[in-house]
Structure 1
């Protein structure tokens, strides 16, 4: 079951940015800094490898009350008992995810256009990942960046809470949150930093300043 506060700061993991064997330490450091939800994303990992990573993360995150969702891999999420999944436009639909994972699972859906948003309103997603706000190197094949105004227009028409994603760092966090997003999702702004805890805290503080 999704609690809105979980959307405040979502860490999306990237195996190219996190040294081998450092996944748990990086995630826990980020959580200490204020990360409220973790999305495990590794497009190249086998089901068994991803399941092992997810099980390890669940053991440390669940006692802390931090949800773990898997990117796309619905079957692996069901296998390990993850809190949910985040699916893209080319993945299995939120309806399929809901059917397989049940009514209490957290289901997120990527939205990059007004037409996608309109179609999403008919589905069971709990939240939308809106973006990319800006160009980002962590997903070279991303859709055309929305920019602040484009994202604001999408969020204004959304019937679910939205997480902003795509090229977001501390210098942009305030302007991004001001577009109406319920929170931020970041990759390199935490995973690519020498001190993930400090990076997460800076993103959280910047958001709080906007909302004050």
Structure 2
């Protein structure tokens, strides 16, 4: 699974970023709270939502549970300090997709029984593979089957290594947007993931 996270870019609008990721085959767009000056989250979502619907692409928003509900998008990604995950589930209902940032296995295991779809761990270099592997192992040894997503810039080799240690998905932004050809970059990542 590949998630594309929009960026505050000098080169492209949020909708253009999403369009290129979708053209490259990405089926999951996360609209980041980091938006260009003068663009509201609601405006960004209104522009991207029809594109996602037309292409049957998942659309989630950073942090804003109420807006996700109001606009009837697929779900929300919760960061530290955002609404409680169980509260978000209650507000959005059983069909919404809810992801949560995590730093440790304990953070992920605390989500047990709360009907959360995925947990996101930051990838920040080669040392991260061992750290994420340890977290995934601890979570799996506890019998918790939640999707674990690694977020950050990763090479194809690093992604493959992370897949072998239990990572189910990857969330990237600048790796696509900053590429000379974002559509081709998306395709290359998906090919590396075997998708």
Cα distance in 2 between the residues matched to 1:9 and 1:70: 15
For 2:151 and 2:24, locate their aligned partners in 1 and report how far apart those are by CA, in whole Å.
Answer: 19
The 2-side partners of 1:19 and 1:121 are apart by 41
Is the contact made by 1:106 and 1:126 (CA closer than 8 Å) also made in structure 2? yes
> Alignment length, in residue pairs?
190
Aligned twin of 2:11:
19
Measured after TM superposition, the shift of residue 146 of structure 1 is 6.4
2:128 pairs with 1:147 = yes
TM superposition score normalised by structure 2: 0.87
Give the aligned CA root-mean-square deviation in angstroms.
Answer: 2.3
Distance 1:69 1:119 in 2: 22
Q: CA deviation at 1:197?
A: 0.7
Report the alpha carbon displacement of residue 67 of structure 1 after superposing the two structures with TM.
Answer: 0.7
Report the Cα offset of residue 109 of structure 1. 0.9
Cα offset for 1:93?
1.6
* Structure 2 residues without counterparts, runs of 5 or longer: none
* Distance apart, 1:205 and its partner CA: 0.8
Gaps of 5+ in 1: 1-7, 136-144
Provide Cα deviations, 1:107-162, integer angstroms capped at 9, x if missing partner. Answer: 01111112212211132211111x21215xxxxxxxxx961111112223142111
Return the TM-score normalized by structure 1: 0.81
Contact 2:129 2:162 (C-alpha < 8 Å) held by counterparts: yes
Q: 1:132 aligns with which of 122, 144, 163?
A: 122
> Residue 159 of structure 2 corresponds to which residue in structure 1?
173
